[in-house]
Amino acid sequence: MIIANQKPSNEIWKMIQPYQRVLIVGCGTCMTVCGSGGEREVNFLHNALRLMELKLNQSAHTFSEFTIKRQCETEFIEMLTEKINYVDAVLSLGCGIGTQAIAERFDNLPVLPGVNTSIIGMGTTQGVWLERCVACGECILDETAGICPVARCAKGILNGPCGGSKHGKCESNKEMDCAWILIYKRLEKLGQLDKMRKYYPMRNFQTIPRPRRLIKSVTGGNTDGQLSL
Amino acid sequence: MVNSLFEEKLDSDEFLITTEIGPPKGIDVSEMLDLIETLKDRVDAINVTDNQSSVMRYPSLGGCLLVKEHGGEPILQMTCRDRNRLALQADLLFAYSRGIVNVLCLTGDSVEAGDHKEAKPVFDADSIQLLKMIQTLESGRDAGGNELKGIPRFCKGATVNPEADIIEPQLIKFDKKVEAGASFFQTQGIFDIAALKRFMQYATRFKVKILAGIIVLSSARMARFMNENVPGIIVPQSIIDELSSVEKGKGLKKGIEIAIRTIRAIREEKICSGVHIMAIGNEHVVPEIIEAVKIPSSL
Amino acid sequence: MTLDVTSIESQNNSAILDRSLMPPCQAACPLHMNIREYVDLVARGKVMEALQVIRSDNPFPSVCAYICSHPCEEACRRSHVDKQIAIRALKRFAVEFGGDRKVRTEARTIFTEKTAIIGSGPAGMSCAFYLRKLGYPVTVFEAHTEIGGMLRFGIPQYRLPREVLDSEIRRMTGMGIEFRTGTPVVSLDLLFEMGYQAIFVSIGAQQSRRLGVEGEDKPGVVDAITFLREINLGLKPAIGENVVVIGGGNVAIDASRSALRLGARTVNLVCLESRAEMPAFAADIQYAIEEGVIVNCSWGVKAILGKEVITGIELKRCVSVFDANGKFNPSFDDSITQILPADTVITAIGQIPQIPESYGLKTSRGTILVDPVTLNTNRKGVFAGGDAASGPATVIQALANGRLAAIRIDDYLHHRYPRSLENENKSPLGELSPQTIQAIRKISRYEPPLAPPEIRIKEFQPIEQVYNWETAVDEARRCLRCGSGAEILFPDKCATCLTCLRVCPYSVPRIDQDFNIQIPPDQCQACGICVTRCPAMAIALRKPWDRRHINEEIERFRHRIKITQSRPLIIGFCCQYGLFGTGKLAGILKTAGEGIWIIPIMCIAKVETYHLLQAFELGAEGVFVAGCGEQCARENTIAEAKAQIQKAQSVLVEIGLKIDQLQAFLPEAKNDNRSGDPEKWLEEFAGYIGSLHLNSLLAAEGKN
């Protein structure tokens, strides 16, 4: 799931200053799940901004709110068309994708980001998400016993662990497990330590120039997609 | 073809001593030059560190140039933290052209450890991939598969940590580094001779030379600090206690004593091929240590 | 000192808002009373509203409050947790403290069709009540000189005091119902000739069955109905010292206990049934035993002994009461016998109706034959109900039957197809799962205060006292609010984020096989935590005591501010359950003065962050949330409220308000001396806010 954090309200406050009528748009999928931009957060922010307006003795802004199912789909964004006519800016509580999608569609309107998109996260206990994948485009989880060194090793190396691994923890963050020690232990458990003895050449960073594009053709049988530039 | 004096020494059975110098944060290299003068004839080679602990400094390549110009034998330290494969290869070509052919290949400390915490870490390669990259250059091609105009040759080294608490992954990496062409290894700080011996039992199957890293501690506080903050270093409690037992101000003396003791043991028991003395901040005591462990020989 | 506690009971919950399911108590009640509603009102201290709800479904709340057999309590799911809610006792509390005696019911005559009721027992009176409310002229014919039927003559006064019944009857005459006492009806045709267009025959079952044993007609043998009637008429029937009562039902128990109160030395009750099979109410059997009645189970009567006077009674062992087909067919073992000394024998083995032949009504096994849907007899325009049609039943069943008859008579007189009514006796709620039961806080039942047995048998005063405020509210708060819990009202908004599943203290939400979240209504305890936490705001409570009602209250304040141009200094969100129940929070109402506006909330877990922000937006300088703290009948509510408050406080800091301007008052356990004094706390808070307000005014002055 894409995980983001709502920006502090004073930062949002500064962003909306130049605009009189602001529409706060929420997202009903990832941002709802991580509690940063769903309907409840939109409602909260709306109330907070109105209160700030009042207490700072201004009447310069009017706010409205609307939450769509997903901000990354054109069909859902279309549902904003009518409302856009009556606002001067959109404050999107969708992730970076959603915010940009809205900006692309309504390109004569300033679109402001209300959240800081952070990680592709795995949920654990309520409210805690851990980064597990960085969308490198070349998944090698079969070689590393299901533990991703690109996401979980601070240096992202493929022939780990580095010399700084101490007591099974990472040199740069003692709270964090050294991914390569985790990989070593699990490969041992699976009886696949040979995989660690292999030489892994340098990564093909060619998959990572921005922006990447994925084209998938969905035919009758298997789907086959190819990552291209 | 450039020869490496250090490589020649590696091929012999001499007990080797190397040490390292950390360049300044700035352009005033006068102190470094003084150290080079002091040390160049006392050791078999001098490492120049490369933005060590992710603190931005005068580069290793520049320091090695100075060592070379003043008659010493430099070992270039190359980390993968700050340069991508293009820059690494380009620097290597330049180094060779200036007679700097000993290279210690390191992955590099993480950016968080240093003083530019928001910098982008590169890690286009890791230490093993860097060794392989050099091997490729030596075969006349670059890492992109393109032919080189003029082929360099290097004396490649890497690090290993015989005192790691989980040893097997370190041994796996050691194998891979040897496979990738490393001919010498400088270890992390050794405090436990028995651990070194155990490691050497494993390592002797390879034709590589191991130089045990010797850290000169100056106080119990420094030892504890290193345990907490320096990657890969574990100072055992017994050493910390030893350092605590002396009065204030005498710590460095104790540290020197411990270093000498350790080197002597390694030398007398012929545990490995030599030592690499690390006295960052106290490089001036290195001659004293070397003097103390000298066996009358041709140094 | 003005207090602003807005009440929204007057607002109707429209059918769209109220999606609650029928709880088992309501389903089991023959009148389908809205028990959940009135118990909740009692829990909030709103007795008059509770009484209103009771009155809307029950013609005789006072009577039921004393003697109802409470099938609702038998169905109450709380009994699977600890013990069932004392619903009847709570009804009595509402009736007494809500001033039921003083309530008058109005009725107007809308129609001209005259209706006649024969028999003024509970079924007849209920029918009369509802026909009158519908607007018909009603006449009740009662053969006896006094009104009430079994209510007056069959039930002893220690269970139903005379004044209670009399006040109900007064109310009915006040409605315009005509009672003709001392008027037995011999012919239905006569009534039709008199102009009545519909007749309800509810003559009850007053004839006692005979034992059919030797000695039955001797003096000293009396049937229980006669016995009880004489007591209630004020005549003291003569009884001896050793009384034996035959029968295992309520009448037998009533007779036994009455005999004790009349001074009998020993009272033996003898019945065919085993203890478990006895049809009498278990509680009453227990009271009887406590008072000294000796219950002898599984005995039948062989003979009543004695020549001119009775000396004893010979019993034979009853081996089984029902045969293989479940029919009443007792079998005996004559070899096992015993003799009990007795100088009085009271028979209470069942009653049958005495249906005059002249009525021309078809009967079946002694009772009037009626169509189960229309309550029609074989004669057009003649309906029947109560014990006369069903055989002996409970009072509440008779009341329900009477109400149904009124509806059917109304259908008939308007030539309407009989209206279909809601499903009878159906509750869509299943059993509580062991997991849910474990998570529910156990609170022992507050038993209605009962006088000790030695005192009880001295006279015919009511044995049960009414709750006081605190006990009533605490008992009412134990209610699980079955069927009014959370549902995903907007499934299209649900992102299946699993928050509701994780925050529920009772582990109720489940993932179904289609990977959707289901919130089983039979497990949900309506605490409201998932409602305030759902990131998509997709969940609502079936009964809208959630943010919707707080939104309405805030809207009212907005309106009031607009109209009166006044602003609140402090707005307080006060939990209604604590506000009255513990007595502690009631102090807040007392202390609140001008400028402190109170929003009543149904537990602090319902308050959402934006409510707190809106309170400041309305102009309040101070906002507080007050709840019953550790006494809350639901779990985790304090932590939830605190989380919402903290989030609001983070915004306050951004706009330069002080965190202290938003506070919570959540006292510790009930008898804990450490718990705060709400009055003092509110005084301090008000003082603090007041001084802040003054400072800001001065600062504004200074600027000018």
pLDDT digits (tens, 9 = 90+) for A138-177: 899 999 999 999 999 999 999 989 988 888 999 888 889 9
More confident residue, C274 or A217: C274
Q: Measure in Å the smallest separation between the Cα of C514 and chain A Cα atoms.
A: 18
Q: Is the pLDDT of residue A90 over 90?
A: yes
Option in C502, C647, C656 nearest A55 (CB): C656
Contact B107 A171 (CB under 8 A): no
Option in A33, A51, A67 nearest C613 (CB): A51
Burial of C8 (0-12, 13-18, 19+ CB in 10 A): middle
Residues from chain C that touch A50, judged by Cβ atoms under 8 A, are: 613, 617
Backbone torsions φ then ψ of B123, nearest 5 degrees = 45, 45
Give B 166-205 residues with CB within 8 A of chain A. 166, 168-170, 172-173, 175-176, 179-180, 188
Question: What was the pLDDT predicted at C102?
Answer: 79
Option in C492, C497, C647 nearest A33 (CB): C497
Between CA C662 and CA B96 the distance in angstroms is 71
Report yes or no on chains C and B touching (3+ CB pairs under 8 A): no
- Reduce the secondary structure of C208-258 to three states and give it as a string: ECCCCCECCCCCCEEEHHHHHHHHHHCCCCCCCCEEEEECCCHHHHHHHHH
Question: What was the pLDDT predicted at C583?
Answer: 64
- Block residue for tokens 């340069």: B83
Backbone torsions φ then ψ of B102, nearest 5 degrees = -90, 125
Option in B143, B159, B169 nearest A181 (CB): B169
What DSSP string runs through B13-64? ---EEEEEEPPPSSS--HHHHHHHHHHTTTSSEEEE-SSGGG---S-HHHHH
For C23-46, what is each residue's pLDDT tens digit? 999 999 999 999 999 999 999 888
Mean pLDDT for C363-372 is 92
Question: What was the pLDDT predicted at C12?
Answer: 42
Q: Is the pLDDT of residue C5 over 70?
A: no
Suggest the residue from B109, B116, B123, B234 to mutate for an interface test with chain A (most A CBs closer than 10 A). Answer: B123
Mean pLDDT for C567-596 is 78
As annotated, the residues of chain A forming the CATH 3.40.50 domain(s) are: 2-119
Kindly report the CA angle at C182 between C177 and C185, in degrees rounded to 5?
A: 80
Residues from chain A that touch C651, judged by Cβ atoms under 8 A, are: 9, 48, 51-52
Q: Which two tokens stand for residue C430?
A: 């299943």
Question: What was the pLDDT predicted at C459?
Answer: 83
Question: What was the pLDDT predicted at C338?
Answer: 93
pLDDT band at C14 (very low <50, low <70, confident <90, very high): very low
For C196-234, what is each residue's pLDDT tens digit? 999 999 999 988 898 888 888 888 899 999 999 999 988
Suggest the residue from A136, A159, A193 to mutate for an interface test with chain B (most B CBs closer than 10 A). Answer: A159
Contact C499 A35 (CB under 8 A): yes
Contact A39 C647 (CB under 8 A): no
Question: What was the pLDDT predicted at C98?
Answer: 87
Q: Is the pLDDT of residue C294 over 70?
A: yes
Contact C657 A55 (CB under 8 A): yes
Mean pLDDT for C388-413 is 94
R_g of chain C, CA atoms, integer Å: 30
Question: What was the pLDDT predicted at C584?
Answer: 66
- What is the pairing mode between strands A115-123 and A129-133? antiparallel
Q: How far is CA B63 from the centre of its chain?
A: 14
Question: What was the pLDDT predicted at C426?
Answer: 65
**Hey, what domains does chain C have and what are their CATH numbers?**
24-103+432-476 (1.10.1060.10), 114-204+353-413 (3.50.50.60), 207-351 (3.50.50.60), 486-541 (3.30.70.20), 547-703 (3.40.50)
Mean pLDDT for C161-165 is 91
pLDDT band at C15 (very low <50, low <70, confident <90, very high): very low
What percent of chain C is predicted at pLDDT more than 70? 94
Option in C492, C493, C654 nearest A10 (CB): C654
Q: How far is CA C642 from the centre of its chain?
A: 35
B29 contacts B66 by C-beta, under 8 angstroms: yes
Q: Is the pLDDT of residue B160 over 70?
A: yes
Task: Check if A33 contacts C (Cβ < 8 Å).
Answer: yes
Between CA B112 and CA B54 the distance in angstroms is 8
Question: What was the pLDDT predicted at C591?
Answer: 67
Rounding to the nearest 10 degrees, give the CA dihedral for residues C499, C502, C503, C508. 110
Backbone torsions φ then ψ of A187, nearest 5 degrees = -60, -40
Contact A47 C657 (CB under 8 A): no
C135 contacts C69 by C-beta, under 8 angstroms: no
Task: Check if C536 contacts A (Cβ < 8 Å).
Answer: yes
What DSSP string runs through C377-428? -SSTTEEE-THHHH-S--HHHHHHHHHHHHHHHHHHHTT-PPPP-PPTT---
For C240-275, what is each residue's pLDDT tens digit? 899 999 999 999 999 999 999 999 999 999 999 999
Question: What was the pLDDT predicted at B1?
Answer: 58
Task: Check if C219 contacts A (Cβ < 8 Å).
Answer: no
Q: Which two tokens stand for residue A123?
A: 């949920």
Between CA C356 and CA C185 the distance in angstroms is 9
Question: What was the pLDDT predicted at B119?
Answer: 93
Between CA C55 and CA C63 the distance in angstroms is 12
pLDDT band at C701 (very low <50, low <70, confident <90, very high): confident
Mean pLDDT for C470-486 is 92
Q: Is the pLDDT of residue C17 over 80?
A: no
pLDDT band at C58 (very low <50, low <70, confident <90, very high): very high
For C517-539, what is each residue's pLDDT tens digit? 999 999 999 999 999 999 999 99
pLDDT band at B78 (very low <50, low <70, confident <90, very high): very high
Contact B81 A197 (CB under 8 A): no
Q: Which two tokens stand for residue C339?
A: 């003799």
Between CA C1 and CA A92 the distance in angstroms is 48
Task: Check if B49 contacts A (Cβ < 8 Å).
Answer: no
Q: Which two tokens stand for residue C669?
A: 């356990």
For chain C, give the number of residues. 704
Burial of A81 (0-12, 13-18, 19+ CB in 10 A): exposed
Mean pLDDT for B39-54 is 94
Closest-CA residue of C relative to A66 is: C536
Closest-CA residue of A relative to B126 is: A157
Residues from chain C that touch A128, judged by Cβ atoms under 8 A, are: none
Task: Check if C511 contacts A (Cβ < 8 Å).
Answer: no
Q: Is the pLDDT of residue C13 over 60?
A: no
What percent of chain C is predicted at pLDDT more than 90? 64
Average pLDDT, chain B: 92
Between CA C474 and CA C216 the distance in angstroms is 52
Q: Where are the domains of chain B?
A: 5-215
What DSSP string runs through C582-648? TSTTHHHHHH--TTEEEEEESSGGG--HHHHHHHHHTT-SEEEEE--GGG-SSSSHHHHHHHHHHHH
Using alpha carbons, select from C528, C540, C532 the residue that is nearest to residue C612. C532
pLDDT band at C581 (very low <50, low <70, confident <90, very high): low
Task: Check if B127 contacts A (Cβ < 8 Å).
Answer: yes
What percent of chain B is predicted at pLDDT more than 90? 81
- Report, at the CATH architecture level, how domain B5-215 is classified: Alpha-Beta Barrel (3.20)
Contact A126 C655 (CB under 8 A): no
Question: What was the pLDDT predicted at B173?
Answer: 95
According to CATH, what is the number of the domain A2-119?
A: 3.40.50
For C116-136, what is each residue's pLDDT tens digit? 999 999 999 999 999 999 999
Q: Is the pLDDT of residue C672 over 70?
A: no
Q: Reduce the DSSP state of residue C350 to 3 states and report it.
A: coil
Option in A40, A51, A56 nearest C616 (CB): A51
**C449 to each of C83, C249, C326, C467, C686, how far by Cα in Å?**
16, 25, 39, 7, 40
A47 contacts A114 by C-beta, under 8 angstroms: no
- What is the pairing mode between strands A213-218 and B184-189? unpaired
Q: Is the pLDDT of residue B271 over 60?
A: yes
For B80-111, what is each residue's pLDDT tens digit? 999 999 999 999 999 999 999 999 999 999 99
A184 contacts A196 by C-beta, under 8 angstroms: yes
Contact A40 C502 (CB under 8 A): no
pLDDT band at A218 (very low <50, low <70, confident <90, very high): low
Between CA C653 and CA C659 the distance in angstroms is 7
Contact A168 B166 (CB under 8 A): yes
Lowest-confidence range among B66-75, C114-123, C538-547? C538-547
Q: Is the pLDDT of residue C577 over 90?
A: no
Question: What was the pLDDT predicted at C668?
Answer: 62
What percent of chain A is predicted at pLDDT more than 90? 72
C168 contacts C124 by C-beta, under 8 angstroms: no
Average pLDDT, chain C: 89
pTM of this prediction exceeds 0.95:
no
Instruction: Kindly tell me the number of DSSP H helices and DSSP E strands found in chain C.
Output: 26, 25
Closest-CA residue of A relative to C609 is: A44
Q: Is the pLDDT of residue C299 over 80?
A: yes
Residues from chain B that touch A160, judged by Cβ atoms under 8 A, are: 126, 169, 173
Question: What was the pLDDT predicted at B298?
Answer: 44
Using alpha carbons, select from C570, C634, C581, C569 the residue that is nearest to residue C604. C634
Question: What was the pLDDT predicted at A217?
Answer: 64
Residues from chain A that touch B173, judged by Cβ atoms under 8 A, are: 159-161
Alpha carbons within 13 angstroms on the beta-carbon side of residue C449 total 8
Residues from chain B that touch A155, judged by Cβ atoms under 8 A, are: 81, 107-108, 110, 121, 123, 126
Question: What was the pLDDT predicted at C3?
Answer: 25
Task: Check if C699 contacts A (Cβ < 8 Å).
Answer: no
Question: What was the pLDDT predicted at C582?
Answer: 61
Question: What was the pLDDT predicted at A81?
Answer: 94
Report yes or no on chains C and A touching (3+ CB pairs under 8 A): yes
Question: What was the pLDDT predicted at C68?
Answer: 93
